[in-house]
Structure 1
């Protein structure tokens, strides 16, 4: 009987700890600018860091969905990592020097950026 009680205590503790961890994870979505699957790979790779458990950028909607541990990384830091890879987000703009090094198909219309001309992908 004592063993069953001990086992029950351990199971409750493990279940409780996993529930606390699951509650600490946060999922958010935000806009990230890009054009193609090369962008998708670059954007998702930029956030393959400790604290982020899932990252998916949708090429068509331009929406990034991330699941992360806010104790390890913030939404702002995630968006800064994406900008450091050359892609503008809702909160962070990529440095022109990084953006202009992106392949031509990955350079999107930055609307108002004098350093980055719009590219016509129909040519």
Structure 2
């Protein structure tokens, strides 16, 4: 039993060191509005936006805002928001294509606002 505990401690330590090395460099942090409704939206938005060592997005369904942390030497906020729009979610800079929005699960189809934003292509 003691050897299992030691092994778990070593594995935990190694994982913490690895994750510390995987942090984003040249960090810029911004908060943006992204439309959505639920936990499934959260997963889709974050999956579309997150790139290891380059971009990390954490979206809050209650406030419909996301904290975007990214490496400003590797990507831009516009590129991240465009990927999110390509996944079907309107945001403060880009509007998702109707065809992509219409393919979202029913619970993920948020009320869309009329917008003059750029269509994501």
TM-score by length of 2: 0.71
Q: Structure 1 unaligned segments of length 5 or more: list them.
A: 1-20, 114-123
Once the two structures are TM-superposed, the CA of residue 49 in structure 1 deviates from its matched residue by: 1.7
Hey, what does 1:67 align to over in structure 2?
69
What count of residue pairs does the alignment treat as equivalent?
A: 92
Hey, what does 1:57 align to over in structure 2?
59
Q: Structure 2 unaligned segments of length 5 or more: list them.
A: 1-23, 116-121
SS of match in other structure, 2:95: coil
Work out which of the two has the higher radius of gyration on C-alpha atoms and give 1 or 2.
Answer: 1
Hey, what does 2:81 align to over in structure 1?
79
Hey, what does 2:7 align to over in structure 1?
none
Distance 1:91 1:59 in 2: 18
Distance 1:84 1:67 in 2: 19
Once the two structures are TM-superposed, the CA of residue 95 in structure 1 deviates from its matched residue by: 0.4
Distance 1:94 1:60 in 2: 20
| 4+ long deviations beyond 3 Å | none
